């Protein structure tokens, strides 16, 4: 990295891999008043796109990269669901009172994933539902579901994202950091 910096590159963002074992997590209990549903091709992706857009708004990734267009979000979501189709572990959480989607976790195991690890590609909770254990529930649910297929779940997080604390609390260990750089 120092060589690239000396050649006129600048760091745009630092991301970090985090991993945890699938077994041994505490049993996931669906928070009261909520239900979980499998997220696959049969779900209207525009509803999921709206949840993701609201869930990430104002976060560090939006500060760094800006707010993606609806088309870009749909493209990214479709891509992830296709990547994880081999072993899809994706879910979304619904408030049973008003039938509103309050959070989602897009996860799975790609056929091309080195060592066959499960991966969480996206995790978000709509702001007004945060601090109710929904994200931690989705992490534990994914770890539990992945345990049948693999021993490890991994994810990537932008360094400085508040979610880092949640991931550590849920048992994820910090791993390799990598930087996205551009020429000045």
Instruction: Give domain limits for the chain.
Output: 2-183
CA pair distance 173, 8, nearest whole angstrom: 33
Q: What is the pLDDT of residue 176?
A: 87
Q: Report the CATH number of the 2-183 domain.
A: 3.40.630.30
Which residue spans within 5-130 are E strands per DSSP?
A: 9-21, 34-38, 87-88, 91-95, 100-109, 118-125
Q: Give 18 or 61, the one with higher predicted confidence.
A: 18
| CA 100 distance to own-chain centroid | 20
With beta carbons less than 8 A apart as the criterion, state whether 152 and 117 touch: yes
Band (145; pLDDT cuts 50, 70, 90): very high
With beta carbons less than 8 A apart as the criterion, state whether 37 and 91 touch: yes
CA pair distance 142, 140, nearest whole angstrom: 5
With beta carbons less than 8 A apart as the criterion, state whether 83 and 108 touch: yes
**What pTM did the predictor assign?**
0.89
pLDDT tens-digit readout, 30-79: 889 999 999 998 898 988 999 988 888 877 887 777 778 899 999 999 99
Band (4; pLDDT cuts 50, 70, 90): confident
CA pair distance 10, 148, nearest whole angstrom: 42
Token pair belonging to 165:
């604390």
Strand partners, 180: 13
């Amino acid at each position: 990295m120092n060589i690239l910096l000396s050649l006129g590159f600048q760091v745009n963002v630092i991301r970090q891999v985090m991993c945890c074992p699938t077994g041994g997590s505490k049993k996931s209990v669906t928070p009261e008043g909520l239900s979980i549903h499998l997220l696959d091709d049969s779900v209207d992706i525009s509803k999921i796109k709206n949840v993701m857009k609201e869930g990430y708004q104002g976060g560090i990734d939006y500060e760094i990269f800006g707010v993606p267009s609806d088309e870009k979000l749909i493209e990214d979501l479709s891509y992830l669901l296709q990547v994880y189709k081999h072993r899809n572990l994706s879910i979304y959480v619904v408030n049973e009172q008003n039938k509103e989607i309050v959070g989602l976790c897009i996860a799975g195991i790609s056929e091309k994933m080195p060592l066959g690890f499960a991966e969480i590609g996206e995790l978000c909770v709509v702001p007004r539902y945060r601090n109710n254990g929904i994200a931690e529930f989705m992490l534990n649910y994914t770890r539990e579901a992945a345990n049948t297929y693999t021993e490890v779940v991994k994810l990537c997080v932008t360094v400085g994202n508040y979610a880092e604390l949640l991931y550590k609390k849920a048992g994820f260990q910090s791993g390799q950091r990598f930087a996205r750089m551009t020429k000045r």
